[in-house]
């Protein structure tokens, strides 16, 4: 077995992200003359001449804080290709693996294509044909035909076959211009015959290599980004980040993140918020305009980004950095004070945990336990499925760190906008043939379809349940029968473990549900009969209620958790749980929004779980509010039909 870099330094080409940037950069001078292209609207020219050459951009602020630093771009790391000779019996599975990587690559290209609309006409005209060429190569192309041939006839593993075939086609294209063969289309009379010069041939060769690299990355399930090249204090600028990439960010190195893409409630955003990094999302066209090393000021509260700030802007930003540091110190003093309303009523403020790296932040924030442990972190960048022992060790670490406070462990919630790597490899992928993955086999549906995954997870949780209070939460429930089926599996695992002599506590972990679909919210009265607790997941609840993808940039302005339809569903679920005397909490991003928490308290909610970094500000709001005024606010808000008016009422309340 030998290992080769799929993109060695000599022939390292421009990955698509860089190509987009390069292409956009080439058209920059032409774009400057235009005043009405979509992406020019992003950068407001400085009105004040003393601002010099600074350029201002706007997006959606994700996490409060101001950072000043040099722009840095994430590099794609070379992927190591291990050459292997297949057994004849393995070729079928290898072809399936190849097809999955092709589908995944196609989805990525489609996503990039959807974002083209935000660029100027010139940039679109240059980039669109490139993406089309990529798409064609991932169709019934000569490239893929030959790769399949290498797998079946030469018994090469898929990575080797892709690398060898992409290189051989690239070589063929480079010297044979203009009579190069067509490699893209199924018929062999494609655009190869139109190649005009050597440069065009080299470009085509590079495109073949680029698509080869993409396929190999998707075969190897390698993360697309590496942040190791970035100096401490860098502002990471990127078009897009997968949650798996965001999980690799070290908050001690990255001062802030500015991203072209992204919704404020998608899992990348949740991850960034959890890491406490000031971030601005949805800054369309920014990555194409920024240059590595250029100084940038990022305000995660206002959602503003300033490139090449003037001395006056810089001085103001430095004052804000100092003010945030002072605020953090002041809020830190709240840590040991109780979360009680001004009349003394207790409120529970817990933390959401996405990554074990957050545990120290949770302790610092003074959280009363963990209200949502997203167990996806165990699977997200894993090379193999975490077995019972691996999971047990991870859960034990968290439960021990909670020192007697409760940990609510949510069973694996895969699917939707989360892309599964290790689960795909294990044949447990969600959304494989779902046209709308968010409406397909995700969350509890996926677990019930693969009870072995659920059983392993339940067994690992049960093993740590004697170490401290633990609850088990089911994601994405829509009907009571799903909960009943999950409970049967739970009881089966308990019986099996007891039979095998594993000592389990007398009182087993409670089994509860997430209320994150309109069906669960409206059916909370029935679900609550079987569920021992409920937790409202406002992120998905908003998405499913409003039919707005939480990860989408193009419909992001419509993603509004303050829409009265969402609020009424929250109200309905809360009333139902309170009537049944079932504990109910909120664990979506809404729970960490200090503007919204008084409304939720007025609706009867007393338990909130949020990113640790949000706890101090929420605690401050809780301690300053009275139950009566929260109830009055809720009555007033629930009469409204306009989300903008709801927002105004909440802002007015905060300023009272
Ligand atoms: C939610 O949907 O609100 C939630 C908390 O779950 P996740 O964000 O992990 O989907
Ligand atoms: Mg959810």
Domain locations in the chain as residue ranges = 37-76+227-330, 88-219
* Pocket probe mutation, ligand 1, options 438, 587, 593, 610, max atoms within 8 Å of Cβ: 587
Q: 331-335, 444-448, 592-596, 618-622: which range is least confident on average?
A: 331-335
Closest C-alpha residue for ligand 1 atom 9: 374
**CATH class as words, domain 37-76+227-330:** alpha beta
Closest C-alpha residue for ligand 1 atom 8: 539
The answer to whether the CB of 410 falls within 8 A of the CB of 514 is yes
pLDDT (0 to 100) of residue 328 = 86
Q: Among 142-151, 266-275, 510-519, which range has the highest average pLDDT? A: 510-519
Q: Tell me: pLDDT of 41 over 50.
A: no
pLDDT (0 to 100) of residue 127 = 64
Q: Which of 406, 450, 563, 587 is catalytic?
A: 587
State the average pLDDT over residues 409-432.
72
Residues 6+ apart with CB under 8 A from 499: none
* Pocket probe mutation, ligand 1, options 350, 413, 477, 513, max atoms within 8 Å of Cβ: 413
pLDDT (0 to 100) of residue 116 = 60
State the average pLDDT over residues 389-409.
96
* Pocket probe mutation, ligand 1, options 513, 540, 569, max atoms within 8 Å of Cβ: 540
Which atom in ligand 1 lies closest to the alpha carbon of residue 516?
A: 2
The ligand that comes nearest to the alpha carbon of residue 477 is: 2
State the average pLDDT over residues 106-127.
65
Q: Where are the beta strands (DSSP E) in 394-495?
A: 407-410, 470-474
pLDDT (0 to 100) of residue 225 = 64
The answer to whether the CB of 571 falls within 8 A of the CB of 578 is no
Q: Model confidence at 38, in pLDDT bands (50, 70, 90)?
A: very low
Q: Give me ligand 1 centre to Cα 540, in Å.
A: 6
Which atom in ligand 1 lies closest to the alpha carbon of residue 270?
A: 8
Closest C-alpha residue for ligand 1 atom 1: 537
Query: Structure tokens of 68?
Result: 């000043």
Active site residue 630: no
Which atom in ligand 1 lies closest to the alpha carbon of residue 475?
A: 6
Closest C-alpha residue for ligand 1 atom 6: 537
Q: Tell me: pLDDT of 145 over 80.
A: yes
Residues 6+ apart with CB under 8 A from 558: 546, 548
User: What DSSP string runs through 572-637?
Assistant: HHHHHHHHHT--EEE-SGGGG-TTTHHHHHHTT--EEEEEGGGHHHHHHHHHH--HHHHHHHHHHH
Q: Give me ligand 1 centre to Cα 234, in Å.
A: 29
In the chain, % of residues over pLDDT 90: 55
In the chain, % of residues over pLDDT 70: 82
Residues 6+ apart with CB under 8 A from 224: 76, 217, 242, 245
- For residue 656, what is the DSSP state? -
Q: Model confidence at 118, in pLDDT bands (50, 70, 90)?
A: low
Closest C-alpha residue for ligand 1 atom 3: 537
Q: Model confidence at 250, in pLDDT bands (50, 70, 90)?
A: confident
Q: What topology does CATH give the domain 88-219? A: Enzyme I; Chain A, domain 2 (1.10.274)
Residue 581: Cβ-neighbour burial (10 angstroms; 0-12, 13-18, 19+): exposed
Q: Give me ligand 2 centre to Cα 183, in Å.
A: 43
Q: What tens digit of pLDDT does each residue of 622-652 get? A: 999 999 999 999 999 999 999 999 999 999 9
Residues 6+ apart with CB under 8 A from 281: 59, 60, 62, 259, 261, 262, 263, 264, 269, 553
Q: 271-285, 452-466, 493-507, 641-655: which range is least confident on average?
A: 271-285
pLDDT (0 to 100) of residue 124 = 64
Which atom in ligand 1 lies closest to the alpha carbon of residue 352?
A: 5
State the average pLDDT over residues 209-229.
78
From residue 612, alpha-carbon distances to 348, 364, 474 in Å are 13, 8, 22
Q: Tell me: pLDDT of 368 over 60.
A: yes
Q: Give me ligand 2 centre to Cα 263, in Å.
A: 14
* Pocket probe mutation, ligand 1, options 268, 375, 475, 517, max atoms within 8 Å of Cβ: 475
Select from 280, 447, 480 the least CA-distant residue to 375. Answer: 447
The ligand that comes nearest to the alpha carbon of residue 537 is: 1
State the average pLDDT over residues 195-206.
69
Q: Give me ligand 1 centre to Cα 404, in Å.
A: 25
Closest C-alpha residue for ligand 1 atom 4: 537
Q: Tell me: pLDDT of 11 over 50.
A: no
Q: Give me ligand 1 centre to Cα 651, in Å.
A: 25
Closest C-alpha residue for ligand 1 atom 10: 540
Which atom in ligand 1 lies closest to the alpha carbon of residue 590?
A: 3
Q: Which of 267, 450, 563, 630 is catalytic?
A: 267
Q: Tell me: pLDDT of 395 over 80.
A: yes
Q: Give me ligand 1 centre to Cα 636, in Å.
A: 27
* Pocket probe mutation, ligand 1, options 269, 370, 374, max atoms within 8 Å of Cβ: 374
State the average pLDDT over residues 77-85.
75
State the average pLDDT over residues 493-516.
96
Query: Structure tokens of 237?
Result: 């600028």
Q: What tens digit of pLDDT does each residue of 530-539 get? A: 999 999 999 9
Please name the residue that has the structure tokens 């590079």.
206
Residues with CB under 6 Å of ligand 1 are: 270, 372, 374, 413, 516, 537-540, 587-588
Degrees, nearest 5: CA angle 510-511-515 = 130
State the average pLDDT over residues 468-477.
97
Select from 239, 22, 205, 210 the least CA-distant residue to 134. Answer: 210
Active site residue 587: yes
Which atom in ligand 1 lies closest to the alpha carbon of residue 374?
A: 9
Q: What tens digit of pLDDT does each residue of 576-604 get? A: 999 999 999 999 999 999 999 999 999 99
Degrees, nearest 5: CA angle 63-69-73 = 85
Q: Give me ligand 2 centre to Cα 518, in Å.
A: 12
The ligand that comes nearest to the alpha carbon of residue 542 is: 1
Query: Structure tokens of 135?
Result: 């798409």
pLDDT (0 to 100) of residue 433 = 62
Q: Give me ligand 1 centre to Cα 588, in Å.
A: 5
State the average pLDDT over residues 461-475.
97
Q: Model confidence at 507, in pLDDT bands (50, 70, 90)?
A: very high
The answer to whether the CB of 134 falls within 8 A of the CB of 16 is yes
Q: What tens digit of pLDDT does each residue of 295-324 get? A: 999 999 999 999 999 999 999 999 999 999
pLDDT (0 to 100) of residue 120 = 54
Residue 228: Cβ-neighbour burial (10 angstroms; 0-12, 13-18, 19+): exposed
């Amino acid at each position: 077995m030998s290992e080769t870099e799929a993109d060695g330094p000599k022939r390292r080409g421009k990955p698509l992200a860089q190509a987009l940037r390069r292409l956009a950069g080439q058209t920059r001078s032409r774009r400057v003359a235009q005043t009405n292209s979509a992406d020019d609207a992003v950068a407001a020219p400085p009105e004040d001449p003393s601002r010099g050459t600074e350029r201002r951009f706007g997006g959606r602020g994700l996490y409060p804080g101001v950072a000043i630093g040099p722009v840095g771009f994430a590099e794609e790391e070379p992927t190591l290709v291990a050459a292997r000779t297949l057994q004849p019996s393995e070729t079928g599975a290898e072809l399936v693996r190849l097809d999955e990587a092709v589908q995944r690559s196609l989805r990525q290209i489609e996503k990039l294509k959807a974002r083209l609309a935000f660029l100027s006409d010139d940039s679109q005209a240059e980039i669109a044909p490139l993406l089309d060429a990529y798409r064609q190569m991932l169709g019934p192309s000569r490239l893929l035909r030959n790769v399949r041939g290498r797998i079946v006839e030469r018994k090469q593993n898929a990575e080797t076959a892709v690398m060898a075939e992409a290189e051989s086609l690239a070589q063929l294209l480079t010297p044979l211009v203009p009579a190069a063969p067509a490699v893209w289309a199924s018929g062999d009379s494609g655009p190869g015959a139109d190649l005009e010069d050597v440069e065009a041939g080299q470009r085509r060769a590079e495109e073949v290599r680029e698509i080869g690299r993409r396929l190999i990355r998707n075969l190897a399930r390698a993360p697309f980004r590496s942040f190791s090249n970035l100096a401490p204090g860098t502002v990471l600028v990127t078009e897009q980040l997968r949650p798996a990439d965001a999980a690799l960010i070290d908050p001690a190195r990255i001062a802030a993140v500015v991203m072209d893409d992204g919704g404020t409630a998608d899992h990348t955003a949740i991850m960034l918020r959890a890491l406490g990094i000031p971030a601005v999302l949805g800054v369309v066209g920014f990555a194409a305009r920024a240059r590595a090393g250029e100084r940038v000021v990022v305000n995660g509260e206002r959602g503003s980004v300033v490139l090449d700030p003037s001395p006056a802007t810089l001085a103001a930003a430095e004052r804000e950095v100092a003010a945030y540091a002072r605020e953090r110190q002041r809020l830190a003093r709240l840590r040991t004070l109780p979360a009680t309303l001004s009349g003394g009523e207790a409120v529970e403020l817990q933390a959401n945990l996405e990554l074990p790296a957050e545990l120290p932040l949770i302790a610092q924030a003074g959280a009363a336990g963990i209200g949502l442990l997203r167990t996806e972190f165990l699977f997200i960048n894993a090379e193999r499925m975490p077995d019972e022992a691996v999971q047990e060790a991870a859960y034990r670490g968290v439960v021990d760190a909670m020192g007697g406070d409760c940990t609510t462990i949510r069973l694996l919630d895969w699917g939707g906008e989360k892309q599964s790597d290790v689960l795909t490899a294990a044949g447990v992928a969600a959304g494989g043939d779902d046209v709308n993955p968010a409406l397909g086999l995700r969350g509890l549906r996926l677990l019930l379809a693969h009870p072995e995954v659920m059983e392993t997870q339940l067994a690992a949780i049960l093993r740590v349940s004697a170490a401290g209070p633990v609850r088990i939460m089911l994601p994405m429930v829509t009907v009571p029968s799903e909960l009943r089926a999950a409970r049967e599996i739970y009881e089966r695992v308990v019986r099996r473990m007891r039979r095998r002599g594993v000592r389990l506590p007398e009182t087993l972990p409670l089994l509860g549900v997430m209320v994150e679909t309109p069906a669960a919210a409206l059916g909370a009265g029935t679900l609550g009969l079987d569920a021992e607790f409920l937790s409202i997941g406002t992120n998905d609840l908003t998405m499913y209620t409003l039919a707005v993808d939480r990860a989408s940039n193009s419909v992001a302005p419509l993603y509004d958790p303050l829409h009265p339809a969402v609020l009424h569903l929250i109200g309905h679920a809360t009333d139902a749980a309170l009537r049944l005397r079932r504990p109910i909490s909120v664990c979506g991003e809404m729970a960490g929004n200090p503007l919204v928490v008084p409304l939720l308290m007025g609706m009867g909610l007393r338990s909130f779980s949020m990113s640790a970094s949000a706890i101090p500000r929420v605690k401050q709001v809780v301690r300053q509010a009275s139950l009566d005024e929260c109830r009055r606010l809720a009555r007033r808000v629930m009469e409204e039909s306009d989300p903008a008016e709801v927002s105004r009422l909440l802002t007015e309340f905060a300023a009272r």
